[in-house]
Amino acid sequence: MSTDGARDVRTRCQVVVIGDQGTGKSSLIIAVATDSFPEKSPPVLPPTRLPHDFYPDRVPLTIIDTSSRQEDKVKMEMECKKADAIVLTYACDRPQTLERLSSYWLPELRQLEIKVPVIVVGCKLDLRDDRQPSLEQVMAPLMHEFREIETCIECSAIKQIQIAEVFYYAQKAILHPTAPLFDQETQTLKPRCVRALKRIFILCDHDRDGALNDPELNDFQVKCFNAPLQPSEVVGVKKVVSEKMAEGVNDHGLTLTGFLFLHALFIERGRLETTWTVLRKFGYDDEIKLRDDLLLEPSFKRASDQSVELTEKALDFLRGVFTTFDMDGDNVLRSQELEELFSTAPSSPWEESIYSGAAETNSVGGITLNGFLSLWAFMTLLEPHKSLSHLIYIGYPANPTSAFRITRRRRQDRKRQRSQRVVLQCYVFGATNAGKSALLNALIGRPYNEAYEHTKGDHYAVNTVEQIGGSRKTLVLREINEESVSSLLEKKDALGSCDVAAFVYDSSDASSWKRAHELLVEVAAHGEMTGLEVPCLLIATKDDLEPDASCIQSSARVCTDMGVEAPIPVSMKLGDIGNLFRRIVDAAQRPHLSIPETEAGRSHKHYRRLIQRSLTVAAVGVTATVAGIAIYRVYMARKQN
């Protein structure tokens, strides 16, 4: 397969011709290339090239002949593996060669896991006995059993009947494949194709009245086929649709149902190129995903301590989308409404558990505007490219670069003593059973759960937090379970995307505190070593239980020694968390404060200070010498005057 990369358009097609000995493979190839019938042809031809202007798609076609002899089998298989389509021949005058298609050739291709379309070709049509059953009768069961057969055709090289058509169908099957668009089994459009066509329909429905009126149909036609529809053609299209499907057309024009029906009709009638042209004009690749080159801008190139956020413009668009799809106006998107919202994307971006449980929902799983925007902010932070593609899929009308902002480096924020971020991420460390998950659940308003379940894998929670003064920030909590700390901290830039770290411990359990302390030291040391220091907070959970006395003493000492604030006591059980989340956001916003200092860090800093001081002394000395030289020069100059 060959494509020109950026635009995913094929520049070359390769067809391999296989079939039983003497069925007419080489003659077929010579006939198409030279318009003549060879009296005698070599057993296997060298590759034959049909130039780009041979067929209307203007893509050159290379035809590979093969030998069906047993000793050439390996070579034939190799060619098949490189093929974009296969022409499989039988001879119309030898029914046993037809039987061999289902008994040998097609199963053989399956066994080789060759997934390209197959064109079955009956050669020597001129020798066909008219008493034989028709092509349709013979082929229907075969095509039913082997869905990889795209087309069946009979031809005659000697009489030049349907020779060019054979390779035309082969090329068409490559350039405009059926499989991604249409389910042969159910005879319906594939879901991904429906989603793409629906998006195209919505993008063309400028007045958003759920139907394409005549000017909208014309714009669509011009965009896709570079030519307007004649008024009579518009009438004709609508007539065809309304005759077969009453709801396909209404007073305003062609409805989405009608638009989809029309495409199913094109495909059923073999006019796949029409639907493919439409999809490609709207930026889809062969897998009906947006082409990669459309997703190159913005590039999201950034340092590890920078993040990606949505701009106010993107958020405005998303607020509008939320309102549009909140059909019942209850300020919550039910799962069907959310599904509908993403029905123009290949799938919903939030099906994975990492997203599905991360935001605020109402009691029946509906998502609030707050939860909706939080999930977008979270997806943008975690997977900006996914966010970009889904923004385009749901119809973001402006240039995508206007939707994203790359934040200032956190290093810079620390120097300026202020973070400019709107979305802040907190890593939540702590021993197993310390109460991390309970904390995450509290952020998204989940009720407290007495039952304990150890968290495995990634676990996030995201919500907005109101600051004093009324401004809102989005807080993302990431639970880091005990066993994944070491692998996380192996990476040099592990703390790059961490705006603040929380160390959670069970205040009734000395070992839980001990572990939190160890983790605090580990993270602080990591920050000092990599220059990615983060503000740290201690959170003492289960405040409703009897506190462990040694914990209290030890934590007070550690806080003084390391220069962090006293632990924040909370009880998830009692719902007593005070202004915990606001404090986490506060700490993240002032990245120069709450940075713990380890003993090693302190002595290193002391050492650095010493060096700095001696450098300053040395520098003053140098300046004095330079000043001395300058004075001397002036003195010399005066002397000379």
Ligand X SMILES: Nc1nc2c(ncn2[C@@H]2O[C@H](COP(=O)(O)OP(=O)(O)OP(=O)(O)O)[C@@H](O)[C@H]2O)c(=O)[nH]1
Q: Does 507 bind ligand X (CB under 6 A)?
A: no
Q: Which one of Mg ion, ligand X, none interacts with residue 449, CB within 5 to 8 A by kind? A: ligand X
The span of 161-169, 278-286, 430-438, 587-595 binding ligand X (CB under 6 A) equals 430-438
Q: Does 554 bind Mg ion (CB under 5 A)?
A: no
Spatial distance between the Cα atoms of 86 and 576, rounded to a whole number of angstroms: 70
* Residue 440: strand, helix, or coil: helix
Q: Which one of Mg ion, ligand X, none interacts with residue 598, CB within 5 to 8 A by kind? A: none
Taking CB under 6 A as the criterion, the residue among 572, 584, 588, 595 binding ligand X is: 572
Residue 631 makes CB contacts below 8 A (sequence gap 6+) with none
* Residue 527: strand, helix, or coil: helix
Taking CB under 6 A as the criterion, the residue among 147, 271, 472, 573 binding ligand X is: 573
Spatial distance between the Cα atoms of 128 and 481, rounded to a whole number of angstroms: 74
User: Which residues is 49 bridged to in the sheet?
Assistant: 62
Q: Does 435 bind ligand X (CB under 6 A)?
A: yes
Spatial distance between the Cα atoms of 148 and 138, rounded to a whole number of angstroms: 16
Q: Which is nearer to ligand X, 11 or 432 (CB)?
A: 432
Taking CB under 6 A as the criterion, the residue among 250, 274, 347, 433 binding ligand X is: 433
Spatial distance between the Cα atoms of 449 and 473, rounded to a whole number of angstroms: 27
The span of 29-37, 165-173, 331-339, 446-454 binding ligand X (CB under 6 A) equals 446-454
Q: Which one of Mg ion, ligand X, none interacts with residue 100, CB within 5 to 8 A by kind? A: none
Spatial distance between the Cα atoms of 106 and 149, rounded to a whole number of angstroms: 9
The percent helix, strand, coil of the chain (3-state, each to 5) is 45, 15, 35
The span of 146-154, 364-372, 567-575, 584-592 binding ligand X (CB under 6 A) equals 567-575
Taking CB under 6 A as the criterion, the residue among 296, 303, 327, 545 binding ligand X is: 545
Taking the complex as a whole, the smallest distance from the CB of residue 443 to ligand X amounts, in Å, to: 12
Q: Does 415 bind ligand X (CB under 6 A)?
A: no
Q: Which one of Mg ion, ligand X, none interacts with residue 541, CB within 5 to 8 A by kind? A: ligand X
Q: Which is nearer to ligand X, 272 or 444 (CB)?
A: 444
Contacting Mg ion within 70-89 (CB under 5 A): none
Q: Which is nearer to ligand X, 251 or 450 (CB)?
A: 450
The span of 56-64, 105-113, 455-463, 528-536 binding Mg ion (CB under 5 A) equals 455-463
Q: Does 455 bind Mg ion (CB under 5 A)?
A: yes
What is the contact mask toward ligand X in residues 289 to 318, using x (rule: CB under 6 A)?
Answer: ------------------------------
Taking the complex as a whole, the smallest distance from the CB of residue 461 to ligand X amounts, in Å, to: 11
* Residue 367: strand, helix, or coil: strand
Strand pairing report for 253-255 and 211-212: antiparallel
Taking CB under 6 A as the criterion, the residue among 430, 567, 591, 596 binding ligand X is: 430
Tokens 């040395």, residue located: 618
Determine if residue 143 is left, alpha or beta; phi over 0 gives left, psi from -120 to 50 gives alpha, anything else beta.
alpha
Q: Give the count of beta carbons closer than 10 Å to the beta carbon of residue 274.
A: 17
Determine the angle formed by the axes of helices 369-382 and 312-325, rounding to 10 degrees: 130
Q: For residues 34 and 50, is the Cβ–Cβ distance under 8 A?
A: no
What is the contact mask toward ligand X in residues 452 to 471, using x (rule: CB under 6 A)?
Answer: x-xx----------------
Taking CB under 6 A as the criterion, the residue among 541, 555, 589, 594 binding ligand X is: 541
Spatial distance between the Cα atoms of 241 and 253, rounded to a whole number of angstroms: 11
Polymer length of the chain = 641
Spatial distance between the Cα atoms of 193 and 344, rounded to a whole number of angstroms: 10
CA atoms within 13 A on the CB side of 196: 27
Taking CB atoms within 8 Å and a gap of at least 24, the contacts of 273-277 are 273/57, 273/172, 273/175, 273/176, 275/176, 275/181, 275/193, 275/197, 276/175, 276/176, 276/181, 277/224, 277/225
Task: Output phi, psi for 164, to 5 deg.
Answer: -60, -35
Q: Which is nearer to ligand X, 104 or 448 (CB)?
A: 448
Taking the complex as a whole, the smallest distance from the CB of residue 503 to ligand X amounts, in Å, to: 11
Q: For residues 366 and 332, is the Cβ–Cβ distance under 8 A?
A: yes
Taking the complex as a whole, the smallest distance from the CB of residue 455 to ligand X amounts, in Å, to: 3
User: Quick one: which H or E segment has residue 168?
Assistant: helix 163-175
Q: Does 437 bind ligand X (CB under 6 A)?
A: yes
Taking the complex as a whole, the smallest distance from the CB of residue 223 to Mg ion amounts, in Å, to: 51
Q: Which one of ligand X, Mg ion, none interacts with residue 225, CB within 5 to 8 A by kind? A: none
| DSSP 8-state assignment for residue 153 | E
Taking CB under 6 A as the criterion, the residue among 31, 434, 520, 540 binding ligand X is: 434
Task: Output phi, psi for 417, to 5 deg.
Answer: 60, 30
Contacting Mg ion within 389-448 (CB under 5 A): 436-437
Q: Which is nearer to ligand X, 454 or 633 (CB)?
A: 454
Residue 59 makes CB contacts below 8 A (sequence gap 6+) with 10, 11, 12, 13, 52, 171, 175
Taking the complex as a whole, the smallest distance from the CB of residue 435 to Mg ion amounts, in Å, to: 8
Q: Give the count of beta carbons closer than 10 Å to the beta carbon of residue 441.
A: 18
Contacting ligand X within 20-39 (CB under 6 A): none
Q: Does 432 bind ligand X (CB under 6 A)?
A: yes
Q: Which is nearer to ligand X, 99 or 483 (CB)?
A: 483
Taking CB under 6 A as the criterion, the residue among 97, 571, 589, 598 binding ligand X is: 571
| DSSP 8-state assignment for residue 482 | G
Taking CB under 6 A as the criterion, the residue among 542, 569, 581, 597 binding ligand X is: 542
Q: Which one of Mg ion, ligand X, none interacts with residue 435, CB within 5 to 8 A by kind? A: ligand X
The span of 71-79, 334-342, 542-550, 553-561 binding ligand X (CB under 6 A) equals 542-550
Q: Which one of Mg ion, ligand X, none interacts with residue 415, CB within 5 to 8 A by kind? A: none
Q: Which one of Mg ion, ligand X, none interacts with residue 438, CB within 5 to 8 A by kind? A: ligand X
Residue 374 makes CB contacts below 8 A (sequence gap 6+) with 359, 360, 462, 463, 464, 474
E strands, 94-226, are 118-123, 149-154, 182-183, 188-189, 211-212
Taking the complex as a whole, the smallest distance from the CB of residue 512 to ligand X amounts, in Å, to: 9
Q: Does 136 bind ligand X (CB under 6 A)?
A: no
Q: For residues 114 and 76, is the Cβ–Cβ distance under 8 A?
A: no
Instruction: Pull the structure tokens for residue 202.
Output: 């919505």
Q: Does 569 bind ligand X (CB under 6 A)?
A: no
Taking CB under 6 A as the criterion, the residue among 307, 407, 481, 594 binding ligand X is: 481
Q: For residues 251 and 214, is the Cβ–Cβ distance under 8 A?
A: no
Q: Which is nearer to Mg ion, 4 or 483 (CB)?
A: 483
Total residues at the site for Mg ion (CB under 5 A)? 3
E strands, 58-158, are 61-65, 85-91, 118-123, 149-154
Total residues at the site for ligand X (CB under 6 A)? 22
Interacting residues toward Mg ion by CB under 5 A: 436-437, 455
Interacting residues toward ligand X by CB under 6 A: 430, 432-438, 449-450, 452, 454-455, 481-482, 541-542, 544-545, 571-573
